[in-house]
Amino acid sequence: MPTTNTKTFTARDRILTAMRRGMPDRVPVMPDISNMVPARLTGKPFWDIYFHNDPPLDEAYLSAVDYFGIDGWYIYDNATMFEQPAWCQKIVEQNEEELKVERWIETPFGRLSEMTGYPVADPPWPIEGMIKDIATDFPKLQWYMQQRSYESLFKSRGKIGDRGIFGVAIETFMGFWVWARNGGSMQAILDFSEAPDLMRQVHEFYLSFARDAAQQIIVQRPDEILLAGSSSSLSLSSPKIYKQFDLPVIKAVSAACKEAGVICHQHTCGRSRLIVEINYAETDVNVMEPLERPPGGDVDIAEVKRRFGDKFCLKGNVNTFETMLTGSTQDVESEAKACIAAAAAGGGFILSTGDQCGRDTPDENIYTLVEVAKTYGRYDKREQ
């Protein structure tokens, strides 16, 4: 039985074939370097990239795709966080270490505002979130999110070409709420017990929003819809919250994808083993990632392949801290080979990292990951 497809594959073909649980010419290699590594490679203060768009983050990423020779993953358009109409903004403080920016938009319900910090060498972080008070501020955000047209979400789709796939992201419910809520994840979690009635209204709105956004996006035929679910991780959330608030959104979006033949890909880092199991039973998600192993996560990729590999393409899971950041090239080679040995057999596997690579991940470790995929990335059952 052939275990290697000898047809010539572009990176895009290779990824899409693997995502449909097929066997391309080799295992695609897509380390998650979506933010920090490309920003670092520009050599510029991070606020140049994230605030001044000089260069825009997506272009920094595409340069990194070329630099490392990876199979690319363009995910810089997010339907939940999409800024249309544009926000007003002004720098309120600047020093050598950080830029503080106030941002606001006027709505029929009053001003919606937030404050963001742009550190010189790290990605931006929310100093003050949009929803300070749910009852007062949520109608403003609700209004804002209903003003959008998604056509311009696709204006950059040609940038990646055959170097990889073009995806559009929709946040899971927790992803949406942690993004919007002042006080971040802790407050977002407490809201479920402190304001249950309001949270039911927020959820009702977001479910309808996500369903509608998915329908409008699917019409434009992206390569995939990414369910961005970092905050749905069971390192932060709970199975109860996941089932009650995230799952309806995931089911709706993944069902719409299935009907249209568009790949649905979920990212949930940290503790996610139970989420893989729940999604297996109850959703139409096609790709699960990044399947983080201990200590940060709880996934054994071999076990997940055995139990859920007949439904999911698995993408993961070389550890970002112990291996990619602080390990040697030998450590990277060894763990990457073990991942391939555990999860590639029969197809439906993409070699990646257990989450986003840290800023100072050595280039040689990323190169090694790529080399392992190119050299050993077969879909057979032989020892790697």
Q: Does 237 bind other proteins (CB under 8 A)?
A: yes
Binding-site string for other proteins from residue 276 to residue 315, where x marks contact by CB under 8 A and - marks none: -------------------xx-x-----------------
Candidates 23-31, 131-139, 146-154, 189-197; binding stretch for other proteins (CB under 8 A) = 189-197
183: left (phi over 0), alpha (psi -120 to 50) or beta: left
Least distance in angstroms from the C-beta of 238 to other proteins: 4
Residues in 32-91 at the binding interface with other proteins, rule: CB under 8 A: none
Q: Specify the residue, 36 or 225, whose C-beta has the smaller distance to other proteins.
A: 36
Q: Specify the residue, 194 or 310, whose C-beta has the smaller distance to other proteins.
A: 194
Candidates 64-72, 275-283, 321-329, 362-370; binding stretch for other proteins (CB under 8 A) = 321-329
Q: Does 321 bind other proteins (CB under 8 A)?
A: yes
Which sign does the torsion angle of CA 135, 140, 143, 149 carry?
A: negative
The only residue of 146, 190, 310, 374 in contact with other proteins, by rule CB under 8 A: 190
Q: Does 192 bind other proteins (CB under 8 A)?
A: yes
Residue position matching structure tokens 């066997």: 23
Per-residue HEC secondary structure of the chain comes to CCCCCCCCCCHHHHHHHHHCCCCCCCCCECCCCCCHHHHHHCCCCHHHHHCCCCCCHHHHHHHHHHHHCCCEEEEEEECCCCCCCCCEEEEEEECCCEEEEEEEEEECCEEEEEEEEEECCCCCEEEECCECCHHHHHHHHHHHHCCCCCHHHHCCHHHCHHHEEEEEEEECHHHHHHHHECCHHHHHHHHHHHCHHHHHHHHHHHHHHHHHHHHHHHHCCCCEEEEECHHHCCCCCCHHHHHHHHHHHHHHHHHHHHHHCCEEEEECCCCCHHHHHHHHHHCCCCEEECCCCCCCCCCCHHHHHHHHCCCCEEEEEECHHHHHHCCCHHHHHHHHHHHHHHHCCCCCEEEEECCCCCCCCCHHHHHHHHHHHHHHCCCCCCCC
Candidates 27-35, 140-148, 221-229, 235-243; binding stretch for other proteins (CB under 8 A) = 235-243
- What is the rounded distance in angstroms from the CA atom of residue 115 to the CA atom of residue 350? 37
Candidates 117-125, 213-221, 305-313, 367-375; binding stretch for other proteins (CB under 8 A) = 117-125
Q: Specify the residue, 222 or 296, whose C-beta has the smaller distance to other proteins.
A: 296
The footprint of other proteins on this chain (CB under 8 A) covers a number of residues equal to: 32
Candidates 18-26, 119-127, 137-145, 278-286; binding stretch for other proteins (CB under 8 A) = 119-127
Query: Which pairing describes strands 98-107 and 110-119: parallel, antiparallel, or unpaired?
Result: antiparallel
Q: Does 119 bind other proteins (CB under 8 A)?
A: yes
Q: Does 204 bind other proteins (CB under 8 A)?
A: no
Q: Does 185 bind other proteins (CB under 8 A)?
A: yes
Q: Does 244 bind other proteins (CB under 8 A)?
A: no
Residue 125 has φ and ψ, to the nearest 5°, of -145, 150
Q: Does 7 bind other proteins (CB under 8 A)?
A: no
Residues in 354-383 at the binding interface with other proteins, rule: CB under 8 A: 358-360
Q: Does 241 bind other proteins (CB under 8 A)?
A: yes
Binding-site string for other proteins from residue 260 to residue 279, where x marks contact by CB under 8 A and - marks none: -----------x--------
Residues in 322-351 at the binding interface with other proteins, rule: CB under 8 A: 322, 325-326
The only residue of 239, 243, 303, 364 in contact with other proteins, by rule CB under 8 A: 239
Q: Specify the residue, 233 or 279, whose C-beta has the smaller distance to other proteins.
A: 233
- Residues contributing to the site for other proteins (CB under 8 A): 97, 117, 119, 121-122, 125, 184-186, 189-190, 192-193, 234-241, 271, 295-296, 298, 321-322, 325-326, 358-360
